[in-house]
């Protein structure tokens, strides 16, 4: 009975050690990939990395390596153990700097000294017996055949002083950071960190050096080790919550949902698979099969079942744990908008499918849908090799308009050259607004449709009308979003500036003076709405000093002042000499002038500049960035001039 219990506890210890490796490594990668630019995220990755190394060695030694490898791995484990105290102090320094109290040099020197001391302890553990000595254990200490443990060396007391000193100093730093938090939620999260960051120290501390040799493999020792590992697993998950907010640019609710989805789909799935492997592989028989043969089926079944359960449970968990009340109602509306909106490619595919069905039913080869614009009709979608040219449509715009508006029947068909034209009306307007027309290759000089043909054609034109109507509406939606989204500037980073006490200089702490990415988005939205729209009228660029200086010459109209400043920035892109449409040095100026000032379509501007459309889009982005950089330089010049 005692042997069975010991075996179960050692198996559980092996599983929990592997679980800690999975969780620590997953959280380190999660923080580093999401917020690598943030110092707290980087230093927390260091802490989790050292913890991963220490527990990875535990997992490896449980597999039963050779005695020489086993002894070497006991020394390798000290990479994590030796550096953990200084890593915790390093993290606490980053947290304190986040609250507006960066190091004036003293804490940085302490960090360097602590890393140097940890390196000395690592060298002592790796190459000498002054810190620890691997010793052979009596085989019956472990049911897994473990034959080596460690014995404390004479330098261990010095390491204990280093460990507890650095850990206590880290705890004090986080307490100072917590007191500097102004918002209740931020103070609460810092309190979570203050408790949870002790978990790596608690889990990695070499208790085996302080206990008797082999005592960690007794029933009492195994029970305490397992209890410790369980606490570490839960505290690591608890640690992930406050850390995920530092450096994040997305709202709090999105941070919470993102973290919950990552944990459920990533570490939780890996842990379930690990548990199944650990407990099925050693089994002699499961449902009449050897454990090794049954294991792949069990892993696949558990993973699939878990993912299916997550898909069902996530909406409930999000409403229960993250959203509530008015937030849930707003979220539902946003999700409905996301589900109903289609991209332009989706709508073009729908139009092409409708045209193909029309051609198949009427036994013709070509058809097209054209939209009405301010200048001339434009072919939006077409099937077949025959379609009217843009020049022909522009030349006969008046004739087409007269043909389309002369009809009085519900299905009006007009003959134009070698096409039958059917008007497409908006399905949302009570005034029967004409939004475009559909043309099909005429199969006879006169319209020869029977009743069934006319009924089907009426269905096809209605589908085309709906798709074209949606395309026009969604173009307006996208244009509004493109202008409004850059104006929503209260990100998590901006909110963090209000949640902590001010720095020593009396100003809120900022990592950089200007968020270049956000500034470029503001400029891009303003250029797209150059002649009017929220991208210009609601832009945060209106707060720039150069725009304020431009108010008097523009009748104190802020929008006109911003437009004049943008025009100045555009003019600065113009090279010297005579204009050339295809010269490389004129590319930026020509693109900005044609697309945003002259409001040319991409196809037309690309044709004039002898570019393909994909190449034009790439160079248009470069041009927008050039204008943004010029605006930033103009503002810097103005502010420096003021400072002087």
**Are 384 and 464 within one domain?**
yes
Strand-pairing partners, residue 146, are none
Distance CA 524, CA 517 (A): 11
Question: What pLDDT shows up at residue 517?
Answer: 73
> What does R_g of the chain's alpha carbons equal in angstroms?
34
pLDDT confidence tier of residue 512, bands split at 50, 70 and 90: very low
pLDDT confidence tier of residue 162, bands split at 50, 70 and 90: very high
Question: What pLDDT shows up at residue 507?
Answer: 45
Ranges of H-type helices in 266-389: 267-280, 291-321, 326-340, 344-362
On the question of pLDDT at 190 being above 60, the answer is yes
Question: What pLDDT shows up at residue 357?
Answer: 92
**Which range, 182-196, 236-250, 298-312, 339-353, has the best average confidence (pLDDT)?**
298-312
Residue 505 forms part of a structural domain? no
Query: Which has more pLDDT, 167 or 540?
Result: 167
Question: What pLDDT shows up at residue 562?
Answer: 92
**Are 537 and 554 within one domain?**
yes
Q: Indicate the residue among 320, 336, 352 that finishes a domain.
A: 336
Residue 610 forms part of a structural domain? yes
Query: Which has more pLDDT, 580 or 90?
Result: 90
Q: Quick one: average pLDDT of 415-431?
A: 82
Question: What pLDDT shows up at residue 250?
Answer: 67
**Are 57 and 6 within one domain?**
yes
On the question of pLDDT at 375 being above 70, the answer is no
**Are 63 and 194 within one domain?**
yes
Q: Quick one: average pLDDT of 30-40?
A: 79
pLDDT cut 90: percent of the chain above it = 16
Q: Sign of the CA dihedral 270, 273, 276, 278?
A: negative
Residue 356 forms part of a structural domain? yes
548 touches 541 (CB < 8 A):
no
Question: What pLDDT shows up at residue 608?
Answer: 85
Residue 51 forms part of a structural domain? yes
**Are 276 and 231 within one domain?**
no
**Are 106 and 16 within one domain?**
yes
Half-sphere exposure of 192 (CA within 13 A, CB side): 18
Question: What pLDDT shows up at residue 500?
Answer: 62
**Are 242 and 254 within one domain?**
no
Question: What pLDDT shows up at residue 493?
Answer: 54
Q: Lowest mean pLDDT: which of 62-66, 135-139, 169-173?
A: 135-139
Q: Indicate the residue among 218, 248, 278 that finishes a domain.
A: 248
Residue 497 forms part of a structural domain? no
Q: Quick one: average pLDDT of 10-19?
A: 81
Q: Sign of the CA dihedral 450, 451, 456, 459?
A: positive
Residue 16 forms part of a structural domain? yes
Distances in Å between the alpha carbon of 438 and those of 378, 381, 565, 587? 11, 10, 44, 37
Query: Which has more pLDDT, 206 or 498?
Result: 206
On the question of pLDDT at 212 being above 60, the answer is no
Residue 493 forms part of a structural domain? no
Burial of 220 (0-12, 13-18, 19+ CB in 10 A): exposed
The overall average pLDDT reported for the chain is 81
**Are 207 and 260 within one domain?**
no
Question: What pLDDT shows up at residue 112?
Answer: 93
Q: Quick one: average pLDDT of 267-294?
A: 81
Q: List the structure tokens of 379.
A: 């072919």
Question: What pLDDT shows up at residue 524?
Answer: 86
pLDDT confidence tier of residue 643, bands split at 50, 70 and 90: very low
pLDDT confidence tier of residue 508, bands split at 50, 70 and 90: very low
Residue 501 forms part of a structural domain? no
Domain of 411: which CATH number? 3.30.450.40
**Are 240 and 254 within one domain?**
no
3-state helix/strand/coil string of 131-172 = CEEEEECCHHHCCCCCCEEEEECCCHHHHHHHHHHHHHHHHH
Q: Indicate the residue among 185, 217, 248 that finishes a domain.
A: 248
On the question of pLDDT at 73 being above 80, the answer is yes
pLDDT confidence tier of residue 515, bands split at 50, 70 and 90: low
Q: Quick one: average pLDDT of 595-618?
A: 84
pLDDT confidence tier of residue 621, bands split at 50, 70 and 90: confident
pTM comes to 0.62
**Whose CA is closest to 253, among 314, 335, 322?**
322
Q: List the structure tokens of 415.
A: 């003959």
Domain of 196: which CATH number? 1.20.1070
Distances in Å between the alpha carbon of 494 and those of 27, 249, 537? 24, 8, 22
Question: What confidence tens digit (pLDDT) does each residue in 456-496 have?
Answer: 888 999 899 888 888 888 777 776 666 666 655 555 555 55
498 touches 183 (CB < 8 A):
yes
**Are 409 and 461 within one domain?**
yes
pLDDT cut 70: percent of the chain above it = 83
**Are 305 and 408 within one domain?**
no
**Are 456 and 312 within one domain?**
no
Number of folded domains that form the chain: 4
Q: Lowest mean pLDDT: which of 5-14, 69-78, 123-132, 573-582?
A: 5-14
Q: List the structure tokens of 67.
A: 């005695």
Distance CA 203, CA 280 (A): 27
Q: Lowest mean pLDDT: which of 295-304, 314-323, 609-618?
A: 314-323
Question: What confidence tens digit (pLDDT) does each residue in 321-373 have?
Answer: 777 665 666 666 766 766 667 777 888 888 999 999 999 988 889 999 998 87
Find the domain containing 636 and state its range. Answer: 512-643
């Amino acid at each position: 009975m005692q042997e069975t219990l010991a075996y179960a506890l050692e198996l559980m210890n092996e599983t929990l050690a592997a679980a800690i490796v999975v969780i620590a490594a997953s959280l380190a990668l999660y923080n580093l990939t999401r917020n690598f630019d943030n110092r707290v995220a980087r230093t927390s990755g260091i802490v989790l990395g050292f913890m991963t190394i220490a527990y990875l060695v535990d997992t490896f030694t449980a597999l039963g390596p050779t005695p020489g490898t086993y002894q070497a791995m006991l020394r390798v484990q000290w990479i994590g153990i030796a550096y953990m105290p200084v890593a915790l102090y390093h993290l606490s320094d980053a947290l304190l700097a986040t609250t507006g109290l960066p190091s004036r040099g003293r804490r940085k020197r302490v960090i360097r000294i602590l890393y140097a001391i940890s390196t000395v302890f690592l060298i002592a553990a790796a190459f000498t017996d002054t810190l620890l000595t691997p010793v052979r254990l009596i085989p019956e200490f472990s049911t897994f055949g473990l034959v080596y443990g460690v014995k404390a060396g004479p330098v261990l007391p010095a390491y204990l002083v280093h460990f507890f000193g650095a850990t206590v100093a880290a705890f004090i730093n986080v307490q100072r950071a917590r007191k500097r938090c102004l918002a209740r939620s931020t103070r609460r999260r810092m309190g979570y960190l203050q408790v949870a960051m002790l978990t790596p120290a608690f889990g990695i501390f070499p208790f085996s050096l302080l206990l008797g040799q082999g005592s960690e493999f007794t029933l009492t020792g195994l029970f305490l080790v397992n209890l410790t590992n369980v606490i570490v697993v839960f505290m690591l998950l608890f640690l992930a919550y406050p850390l995920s907010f530092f450096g994040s640019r997305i709202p709090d609710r999105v941070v919470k949902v993102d973290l919950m989805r990552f944990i459920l789909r990533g570490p939780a799935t890996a842990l379930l698979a690990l548990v199944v492997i650990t407990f099925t592989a050693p089994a002699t028989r499961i449902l009449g099969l050897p454990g090794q043969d049954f294991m792949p089926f069990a892993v696949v079944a558990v993973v699939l079942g878990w993912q299916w359960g997550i898909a069902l449970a996530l909406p409930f968990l999000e409403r229960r744990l993250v959203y509530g009340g008015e937030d849930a109602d707003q979220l539902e509306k946003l999700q409905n908008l996301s589900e109903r909106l289609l991209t332009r490619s989706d709508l073009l595919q729908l139009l092409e499918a409708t045209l193909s069905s029309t051609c198949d039913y009427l036994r013709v080869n070509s058809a097209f849908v054209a939209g009405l614009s301010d200048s001339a009709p434009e072919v939006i979608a077409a099937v077949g090799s025959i379609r009217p040219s843009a020049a022909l449509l522009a030349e006969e715009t008046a004739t087409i308009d007269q043909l389309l508006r002369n009809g009085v029947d519900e299905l009006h068909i007009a003959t134009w050259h070698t096409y039958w034209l059917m008007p497409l009306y908006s399905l949302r307007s009570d005034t029967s607004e004409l939004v475009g027309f559909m043309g099909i290759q005429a199969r006879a000089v006169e319209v020869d449709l029977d009743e069934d043909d006319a009924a089907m054609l009426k269905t096809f034109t209605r589908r085309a009308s709906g798709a074209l109507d949606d395309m026009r509406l969604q173009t307006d939606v996208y244009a509004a979003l493109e202008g409004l989204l850059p104006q929503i500037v209260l990100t998590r980073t901006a909110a963090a500036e209000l949640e902590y006490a001010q720095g020593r200089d009396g100003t809120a702490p900022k990592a950089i003076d200007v968020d270049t990415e956000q500034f470029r988005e503001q400029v891009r939205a303003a250029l797209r709405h150059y002649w009017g729209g929220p991208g210009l009228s609601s832009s945060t660029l209106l707060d720039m000093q150069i725009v304020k200086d431009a108010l008097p010459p523009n009748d104190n109209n802020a929008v006109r002042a911003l437009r004049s400043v943008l025009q100045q920035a555009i003019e600065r892109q113009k090279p010297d000499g005579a204009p050339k449409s295809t010269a490389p040095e004129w590319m930026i100026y020509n693109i900005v002038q044609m697309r945003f000032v002259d409001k040319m379509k991409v196809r037309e501007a690309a044709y004039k500049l002898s570019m393909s459309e994909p190449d034009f889009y790439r160079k248009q982005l470069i041009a927008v960035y050039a204008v943004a950089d010029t605006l930033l330089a103009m503002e810097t010049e103005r502010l420096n001039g003021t400072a002087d």
